[in-house]
């Protein structure tokens, strides 16, 4: 699968009973995020490491002249640093910080597909037993009898929170 600068078309927002989500994998787990935040998907490539950053900040890439930080989602979720494989890619998406939109890259093992999940098939985050922090989860989408973790990027990838962790890493 060759994914290089695949633009995601953001059509009109449908406030109906179903939302579209981009699904991706981290190890054996399937996650999803609201497609409206996704700008594009690019193939994993060379990036510049930034000294004194938390382990989950993999580095920065040059995306059409813009410096875009790349977050290792495995590491951000408190797991071991992700291994780069043939299908590893970066999801470029809009994150919110200080009242403005910032482009971030999200390193994932593989991107799967765009799916529709009716709002009636989304359960709230579990009270316990989840492998990631509850506030990082928007909900659990039920698709074909299986649950998909729908990530809440504004919390899991909060710019101010990650900046604070970066400052703490510099003082250690």
Distance CA 36, CA 148 (A): 18
Is-contact 33 41, C-beta < 8 A? no
Model's pTM, two decimal places?
0.79
**What is the predicted pLDDT for the residue at 1?**
41
Q: CA 128, CA 117: separation in Å to the nearest integer?
A: 23
By C-alpha distance, which of 21, 8, 24, 157 is closest to 95?
157
Each of the 172 residues of the chain gets a pLDDT tens digit; together they read 444 444 444 443 344 468 999 999 998 899 999 999 899 999 999 899 988 888 889 999 999 999 999 999 998 888 889 999 999 999 999 887 667 788 999 999 999 999 999 989 998 877 665 556 667 788 899 998 889 999 887 777 776 776 676 666 556 5
pLDDT of residue 145: 87
What is the pLDDT at residue 42?
96
pLDDT value for 15: 41
Residue 142 and residue 42 in contact, taking contact as beta carbons nearer than 8 Å: no
pLDDT of residue 116: 94
- The topology (CATH level 3) of 17-171 is OB fold (Dihydrolipoamide Acetyltransferase, E2P) (2.40.50)
Given this model, what pLDDT does residue 168 score?
64
**30 in Cβ contact with 149 (< 8 Å):** yes
pLDDT (0 to 100) of residue 24? 96
The neighbour count for residue 107, using CB atoms within 10 Å, is 24
- Predicted local distance difference test score (pLDDT) of residue 112: 94
Residues contacting residue 9 through CB under 8 Å, at least 6 positions apart = none
The residue written with tokens 């998909």 in the block is: 148
């Amino acid at each position: 699968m060759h994914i290089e600068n695949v633009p995601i078309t953001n059509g009109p927002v449908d406030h109906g009973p179903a939302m579209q989500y981009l699904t991706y994998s981290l190890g054996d787990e399937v996650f999803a995020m609201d497609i409206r935040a996704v700008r594009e998907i690019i193939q994993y490539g060379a990036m510049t490491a930034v000294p004194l950053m938390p382990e989950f900040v993999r580095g920065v890439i040059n995306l059409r002249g813009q410096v875009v930080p790349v977050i290792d989602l495995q590491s951000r979720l408190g797991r071991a640093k992700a291994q780069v494989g043939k299908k590893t890619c970066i999801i470029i998406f809009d994150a919110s910080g200080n009242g403005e939109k910032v482009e971030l890259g999200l390193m994932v093992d593989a991107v799967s597909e765009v799916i529709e999940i009716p709002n009636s098939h989304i359960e709230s985050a579990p009270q316990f037993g989840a492998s990631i922090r509850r506030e990082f989860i928007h909900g659990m989408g039920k698709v074909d009898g299986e649950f998909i973790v729908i990530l809440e990027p504004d919390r899991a990838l909060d710019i101010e929170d990650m900046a604070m962790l970066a400052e703490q890493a510099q003082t250690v």
